Structure formats: C-alpha cells, structure tokens
Amino acid sequence: MYRQLQRHLIQHIRSFLQAKYQLELDNIVVEQPPKIEFGEFALPLCFELARRLRKAPRKIAEEIVAELPPLDGFQAFEVAGGGYINARINRGRAAALVVEAQADMASAGQAGKILVEHTSINPNKAAHIGHLRNSILGDTFVRLLRSAGREVDVQNYIDNTGVQVADVVAGFVHLEKKSKAEIEKIMASTSKFDYYCWDLYAKVSQWYGEDKANLQVRLDTLHAIEHGGNELADIADLISTAVLLRHLETMERLGIEYDFLPRESEILHLNFWSTAFEQLKEKKVLYFETEGKNNGCWVMTRPGSEGSAEGPDEDAKVIVRSNGTVGYVGKDIAYHLWKFGLLGRDFGYKRFYRYPNGQDVWISTSPEDDELNHPHFGSVSEIYNVIDARQSEPQETVKEALRLLGATEQAEHYTHFSYEMVALTPRCALELGYEVSEEDQQKSYIEVSGRKGFGVKADDLLDKLILAAKAEVDSRHPELSDEERLAIARQIAIGALRYFMLKFTKQSVIAFDFREALAFEGETGPYAQYAVVRATNIFRKAGTTAEEILKDSADLSPYLEGETGTEIWALWLLAGQASTLIDQCIATTEPAYLAKYAFQLAQQFNNFYHRHHILTEADEGRKRFLLTTAAVVRRELIRVLAVMGITVPPVM
C-alpha cells in the first residue's frame, strides 16, 4: 500500500512542479513525519527549492499547497514546520488496499536471472558461527529477491583442491598415518566427520610449526591434489565430499538450500583458466613483467592505481607466478567469466543431493560423468557474492578484470555483498575453555580461527538453542507430546538464530556472546514469532481464522478516526510498508532493515494487543475491525518472517 501511494505522490508532485515552475527534479525526497498526526508522507522539497526560487521555504510550501490539485487516495496537503509539505492519505481507502494486498505484491519480475553465491566454506572442517552469518545473510537475500519476483540460482562454491583441504589430507596421511580405507572407516563410525576434521585441522597447523620439513609435506600434498589422478587426490576428494555433505545437512537444519555446487577441481581440470588466460592476454589486461620483484610473472595493474611512471609497477597484482602456476584470483576471474556466460566453456553436471521436498542440488563434474538433461547454471545477468569484507580487494580485482576485458555491463552488475566477521567476546572464549592471553582479554572481541580450532561450531550452537527452547516449551506446554514440543523448539531456535544474525547491519562485527544469542526476549526472533502466535490464539478462541476475516471487509474508516483510531491506524500504516522495506533491503543489500521492521511491527502489535481486548468487545462492528487489524498484521508479519527464513509455531 505505502509503496504504491508513495509512487503516485512523487509522480503527482513532479508533474505539478513542471507545470507551475518548469522545474525538473530528478530526486524527490519523501519521508515519514515524526508523528502520525502530521500525516503519512512529508516532503522537504521546499527547502531545496528555496535557493532556486529565492523565496522562503514556507512561502513556497504555502504556494504549492494552495494550488496542488487533489490526488486520488489522498485527503489533504498541509504546510508544516519551516516548510514541509505533509500529505494525509485517505485512511479507509488505504486500509482497504492493505487488506487486499494485491496492489502491494512485488512488481512484475524484471527480466534476467540472478546468481547469488554464498556459504562457500572450505570443505575441511565443521561450519562455525562465522559461516552461519554468511549463509543466513545470503539465504535471506535470495528470499528477498525471490519475493520481489526475481529468478535466482543459488551457488555454493567448493574449494575442494585448496591448501585447507590439503592440510587435513596431510593430517590424516602423515600425522595419523591413516590409509584411505582407514579414513573411510572413521567416516562410517561417526555422524560428525566434520567435527573430527575440525580437531585434526588444528593439530596439523600446530604440527607445521614444529618442523620446516612438515611445511614441505603440505606443499607436496597440495600439488598432488591440484594435479589429480593420484592417491592423495582421491583422499582429498573423499574427505571434501564427506565434509561438504555435512555442511549441506547443517544448513538444511536452518532451511538453507542450494541449486548448484561448482568445484575448484573442475575449474582446474576443465582448463577454465587457460581459456580465460587467452582472453586476458589478448585484451592486454595482463602483461608480462620483465624486471623488478615480479620479474617473470603475468601481472595486472591494481584497480585505482595508474602504475608507476618509470620502472616496474611493484604494486601490481601477480596473477600468474614466475613458475607458470596461476593464483586463485586468476581462477576466480575465469569462474566469473563463466558466471556471466563469457568464458565459452561449461561445467559437467551431475546430481549430488536431494532435499526432502524433491529439489535436487547439482554439482560440477567431468564431461564423462555429465548427466543427460541437466540444467545449465551460469550465463546470468546479475551476480551477488556473499563474501566477508576481508576479501574486498580480490573481489575488486576480479571486477576490474571484467571491466578491462570490455564486459563493463557485467562489471556493473557484479556486487560484492560484503559483511563483517563474527568474533567471540573474551568472556565467551573463556566460557568455552579456551586459553585467552592477557592481551586478548583486553580486546572487545577475538577473531574466530578454524586453523586454531578456535570458535563455536554451527551445529553446537543450534543444538544449544534447541535445548534451551525445548526447556521453555516443556514448561509451558506439558499437554503436548514430546515430538510436538521438539518441533516447536526447533522453530524457535531457528527463529532466534536467524534473527540474531540478521539484526546487525553488515558492516558491524558481531562480538558473539551466548547470553545474547540464546535470548528469547526483547529484540529477538521469538519475540516476533510470539506476536503471531498471540494473534492466532485470538482467531482460534473466536472460532474463526485470520484468512476468513480478511475475505470480506466492511468500510473501516469510521474506526480509524479519533485518538484511538489514529493509534490503531499507525499499526495499519506500518503493516502496509512491508513491500517498501523489501525493496529497500534489495536496493541496499541490507537485510537488517527487514529484521528491524519485523521487530517494530511485532512490538506495535503487542502494544495493540494489550490495549484493545478483542474478544470481549461488545460492539460487533468494532470487534470486526479489531479482528481485521490483527489479521492484517499477522499476515504481513508471517510474510516478512518467511523472507528471513523464520517460520512460526502453532503455539509457544
């Protein structure tokens, strides 16, 4: 409702300004007045006009208000403050729009498929809370896009041939002296092979520090894996596939699913790089350095730098080393050319995993294993890479390479969805039994490190949340079966976790603390879920449903006037802004706004719930109005929570 009316208002003002002053404003700012009594929209444009028209803002506002023609759906335009123009909408009409919800549905899907890449955890250890932030942000953004009618493919990039996997392979083979068969036995004996690798990974990192020769083992292992077709590569494939499956299971617990898993092994073996290298050389994006410290390397000038006037550009980014091997940025350039359909090559595809709903996850594979009738991923028009802020430099390099290759359009639709890391508070680290140095104890947070085995595992946190929620549900609903209570506890735990990860803005480091993450009160997911449950209870006790109430609505305008009416109208207005918020979250790639909105809507509903007792209302018309109010808020709250991947239990 709000989004639609706002568009009409801007259009109306624009054409009026053109007719009256021959003014063409490309950006008409619309705000919401600080108080609902002032109306629904506030236009500060007269302050801007004051300079151009050389008149006092208030004077201009009076002039405009006096001559502005009426607009359908709007009741009045008024001058306020030092020169604001406030607009009042017709409450009854607007409320009817909210009830219908038709006009507010996402604008017809724009053309062009979008690719969102998120999660991309190295398949050598269990997922931790930092990975959770990535996946939850990415998954929520996917849901935002889909709710706006966009077609989205979700990719989870698997670096199955990198050093991190090599580290664990070296750990199994050299530290634990395990054969492939013995590793397979370990896998079969545990349901959490990723946990086993977590500990081993930490041990290996320490082992490297003990002897320089061990570092050579690491390098040799890496090279064997990259080359492929040997025992170590087979073991790497075995381990990385097993850990990847664990990651999919962990994410599935949170309702996070993928469409395609491109692997680095295919990027290597299908020679994506050599094709990209030809293009990069031909377009002179890379040049061969013949002197200085980068002598013998293929390098790229850094974005923003003009290179040095004389002598070699020592600051240039090395893409191909002097020994002829390519770094990961090079492989990433090739991969991104593929994403936009500019590489001229494709992966092989095979099915890897099937979700309970029948949806398949595909994985990249060699041409021999390519399944018939597979879907094609890639060749999209827009991409979003959910990758933490530390990688912004390489991300810029890839984008710059696209630009220099002439793919300017694609580079513009390349978005690094950047976010800050999750760290642990020193208190939390101590609680977990880690040794914390004096120096670290003084810090406000300590960075999580998979290499040191320092962090909170995703599955552990979720288990802890479920346990805490279960205890609450047990005490509140002894009449339910254990199975039912567990199902509810799971929904609450997921709601708490997803909301927690979304409530912070992306650029804020989350200093993780169990006390806050395990909270179910205040600004949390369960708070919003509870508001919906309360609304549901009203309809159940009234012997009807919210859907039924919304089917036929009378004229609500009589109940939206006066002091009480205005107070309830504020709730309607907020409920009518869901689509505005979804648009805003997409435009700014910031899901936190939606979390904030959901909380505010729940908060205002709880307030309404407390002040207006619906079932004992004697006036039938008024009772009907209050029920409609609850039904509308409930529907929008459920819708917004669903975009955040949060479902609502039947009772709490």
Partner RNA sequence: GGGAGCGUAGCUCAGGUGGAUAGAGCAUCUGCCUUCUAAGCAGAGGGUCGCAGGUUCGAGUCCUGCCGCUCCUACCA
* Spatial separation of the C-alpha atoms in residues 441 and 438, rounded to whole Å: 5
Does 629 engage in binding with RNA (CB under 7 A)?
no
Q: Is there a contact between 50 and 83 (Cβ–Cβ < 8 Å)?
A: yes
- Of 16-24, 49-57, 129-137, 348-356: span binding RNA (CB under 7 A): 49-57
Say whether residue 159 binds RNA (CB under 7 A). Answer: yes
Give the sign of the dihedral formed by CA 354, CA 360, CA 366, CA 367: positive
153 or 313: whose CB is closer to RNA?
Answer: 313
Residue of 296, 307, 341, 565 interacting with RNA (CB under 7 A): 296
Give the C-alpha separation, 171 to 393, whole Å. 31
The residue among 407 and 488 lying less far from RNA, judged by its C-beta, is 488
Stretch that binds RNA, among 147-155, 156-164, 341-349, 358-366 (CB under 7 A): 156-164
Residue 162 within binding range of RNA, rule CB under 7 A: yes
Gap between the Cα atoms of 508 and 138, Å rounded: 16
Tell the smallest beta-carbon distance from residue 612 to RNA (Å).
6
Minimum distance from CB of 635 to RNA (Å)? 17
Q: How big, in percent rounded to 5, are the helix, strand and coil portions of the chain?
A: 55, 10, 35
Q: In what order do the strands lie in the sheet with 287-288?
A: 287-288, 298-300, 317-320
User: In the set 392, 408, 545, 564, which binds RNA (CB under 7 A)?
Assistant: 392
Shortest reach from residue 176's CB to RNA, in Å: 23
In angstroms, give the least distance from the CB of 450 to RNA. Answer: 12
Give me the 57-76 binding string for RNA, x by CB under 7 A, dash otherwise. x-------------------
State how far the Cα of 139 lies from the Cα of 368, in Å rounded to an integer: 32
- Identity of the residue numbered 78: E
Strand 414-419 relative to strand 446-447, pairing = unpaired
**Toward RNA, which CB reaches closer, 48 or 400?**
48
Q: Is 541 exposed, middle or buried (0-12, 13-18, 19+ CB in 10 A)?
A: exposed
| Strand partners for 31 | 42
Let me know how many helices (H) and strands (E) the chain has, helices first.
Answer: 26, 16
Among 170, 448, 501, 592, binds RNA (CB under 7 A): 592
Considering only residues 425 to 464 of the shown chain, the ones binding RNA according to CB under 7 A are 443-444, 447
- In the set 92, 327, 348, 565, which binds RNA (CB under 7 A)? 327
Separation of alpha carbons 269 and 279, rounded Å: 18
Complex with RNA: residue 284 or 610, whichever CB lies closer? 610
Q: Which residue has the tokens 């994506």?
A: 272
User: Which of 379/418 has CB closer to RNA?
Assistant: 418
Residue 253 or 321: the one with the smaller Cβ distance to RNA is: 321
- Least Å distance between CB 386 and RNA? 16
Find the farthest-apart pair of alpha carbons in the chain and give their distance in angstroms, rounded: 89
Taking the complex as a whole, the smallest distance from the CB of residue 104 to RNA amounts, in Å, to 16
Does 322 bind RNA (CB under 7 A)? Our answer is yes
Near RNA in 3-22, by CB under 7 A = none
Q: Mask: binding to RNA, 564-583, rule CB under 7 A, as x and -?
A: ----------------x---
**Selected range binding RNA among 7-15, 26-34, 135-143, 429-437, rule: CB under 7 A:** 26-34
**Contact residue for RNA among 110, 190, 206, 325 (CB under 7 A):** 325
Q: Is 175 left (phi over 0), alpha (psi -120 to 50) or beta?
A: alpha
Query: Smaller CB distance to RNA: residue 152 or 201?
Result: 201
Three-class secondary structure of residue 367 per DSSP: helix
Tokens of 410: 């694609």
Judged by beta carbon, residue 51 or residue 177, the one nearer RNA is 51
Burial class (CB in 10 A: 0-12, 13-18, 19+), 94: buried
Contact letters (x/-) for RNA, 250-289, by CB under 7 A? --------------x-------------------------
Residue 293 as a binder of RNA (CB under 7 A): the answer is: yes
DSSP 3-state of 158: strand
Residue selected from 96, 186, 238, 533 as contacting RNA according to rule CB under 7 A: 533
Angle between helices 231-253 and 163-170 (to 10 degrees): 110
* Cβ distance to RNA smaller for residue 380 or 462: 462
Q: Is 82 in the site for RNA (CB under 7 A)?
A: yes
Q: How far is the CB of 521 from RNA (least distance, A)?
A: 4
CB atoms within 10 A of CB 253: 16
Footprint (CB under 7 A) of RNA, residues 302-321 = 315, 318, 321
By CB under 7 A, name the one of 9, 13, 17, 42 that touches RNA: 42
Q: Cα(16)–Cα(110) distance, rounded to whole angstroms? A: 29
**Contact, 1 vs 576, CB < 8 A?**
yes
Contact 318, 254 (CB under 8 A): no
Binding of residue 81 to RNA (CB under 7 A): yes
CB-CB contact of 85 with 79 (8 Å): yes
Q: Is 184 exposed, middle or buried (0-12, 13-18, 19+ CB in 10 A)?
A: middle
Interface mask (CB under 7 A) for RNA, residues 488-527, using x and -?
Answer: x---x----------xxx-xxxxx----x--xxxxx--xx
